[in-house]
Amino acid sequence: MLNNQVSKQTTKRDARSARPVPFPWRNWIGVIPFFIFVFLFILLPSITLLTGAFRDNAGKLTLSNFVGLLDPSIINAYWVTIKISLASAVGGGVLGFLMAYAVTIGKLPTSVRNTLMTFSGVASNFAGVPLAFAFIATLGRTGLVTVLLKNILGLNLYDQGFSLYSFWGLTLTYMYFQFPLMVLVITSALDGLKNEWSEAAENLGAGKSLYWRKVALPILMPSILGSMILLFGNAFGAYATAYSLTGGFINLITIVIGSQIKGDVLYNPGLGYALAVGMIIVMAAMMAIYYSLRRRSERWLRL
């Protein structure tokens, strides 16, 4: 009885303080440290880059920094970055999807699924400097796979124009953390495909391929595309792996920004700001598409 009264009272008090307007200022104390942190270390740096991008060395307003982005070498850097991100997102996305398919709809033993999830968790976090070392030992000039291919198949990768330190090499290296990430994000979507749907399709006389074309793929498509966009962004912002693999001798946008920070070549802070703002814009567009696709996929699948 007494308990009941107490809880009623507190409920009443809390109901009042939880009402959206008006805010007593005390309600805001608890979130102040977090918002100060966010302001100092996320917003302030971004705003500085953004405003810096519109100013010249003397501090006057200008658009010339963005004109600088039209320089052929910068356009090339954006282009190479986009190509590598796209190739590694599609390559990693397809491989990751097929593996996730194998352990969900493919009905492989649960032990295989658990192992795959654990390995994916590790591999998606294995990036940067050590990953570059691993691929040098694998596909570098004297790497194990390079030597094996030469000795067994008589195929000299490097005579065929392959180089670990260029487009394909970097794409293959990025795929190492891309496909496990795809496995991790797409598995729940594949789990969401209901057996009833394929049974219903079968009852209506549809074969496996018709079911996939007309039911499963349209339902999964937003998830698949969304996940691949996530992978794209993941590769687009990558710096450590590319830098330690190529020693900075590949024209990626992150590498160009890196050399602007160091101020070692063609130092032009305004251009550096514009490059960074360009990256943020691309990444923000990717995330916007990702979220709209996610909303679409949530119509059918609970993620």
- Least CB distance from residue 134 to another protein, whole Å? 4
Binding mask 202-221 for another protein (x = CB under 8 A): --------------------
State yes or no: residue 6 binds another protein (CB under 8 A).
yes
101 binds another protein (CB under 8 A): yes
Residue 60 or 107: which CB sits closer to another protein? 107
Smallest separation, CB 195 to another protein (Å): 14
- The count of residues interacting with another protein (CB under 8 A) is 97
Using CB under 8 A as the binding rule, whether residue 10 contacts another protein is answered as: yes
Residue among 117, 149, 215, 289 that touches another protein (CB under 8 A): 117
With CB under 8 A as the contact rule, the residue among 179, 219, 223, 226 that binds another protein is 179
The window from 67-75, 110-118, 195-203, 210-218 that contacts another protein (CB under 8 A) reads: 110-118
Which stretches of the chain are DSSP H helices?
2-17, 32-38, 44-53, 64-68, 72-104, 110-123, 129-139, 144-148, 167-191, 195-203, 208-211, 217-236, 240-246, 253-262, 269-297
Q: Establish if 27 lies at the interface with another protein (CB under 8 A).
A: yes
Would you call 265 helix, strand, or coil by DSSP?
Answer: coil
Across 124-148, b (16+ Cβ under 10 Å) vs e yields beebbeebbeebbebbbeebeebee
Contact between 121 and another protein by CB under 8 A: the answer reads yes
Give 178's contacts (C-beta < 8 A, 6+ positions apart): 88, 89, 91, 92, 93, 96, 231, 234, 235
Q: Pick between residue 23 and residue 79 the one whose CB is nearest to another protein.
A: 23
Which DSSP symbol is given to 27?
A: G
241 binds another protein (CB under 8 A): yes
Long-range Cβ pairs for the range 275-284 (8 Å, 24+): 275/69, 275/74, 276/49, 276/53, 277/49, 277/50, 277/53, 278/69, 278/78, 278/253, 279/236, 279/237, 279/253, 279/254, 280/46, 280/49, 282/236, 283/233, 283/236, 283/237
We find the least distance from the C-beta atom of residue 210 to another protein, in angstroms, to be 16
* 266 contributes a contact to another protein by CB under 8 A: no
Name the minimum Å distance from CB 201 to another protein: 16
Q: Which is nearer to another protein, 78 or 135 (CB)?
A: 135
**Given 222, 226, 233, 270, the residue binding another protein (CB under 8 A):** 233
DSSP state for residue 141 in the 8-state scheme = T
- Per-residue interface string for the shown chain with another protein, residues 270-289, x marking contact by CB under 8 A: --x---x--xx--xx--x--
Quick check: 248 and 255 in contact, CB under 8 A? yes
Residues 47-66 contacting another protein, CB under 8 A: 48-49, 52
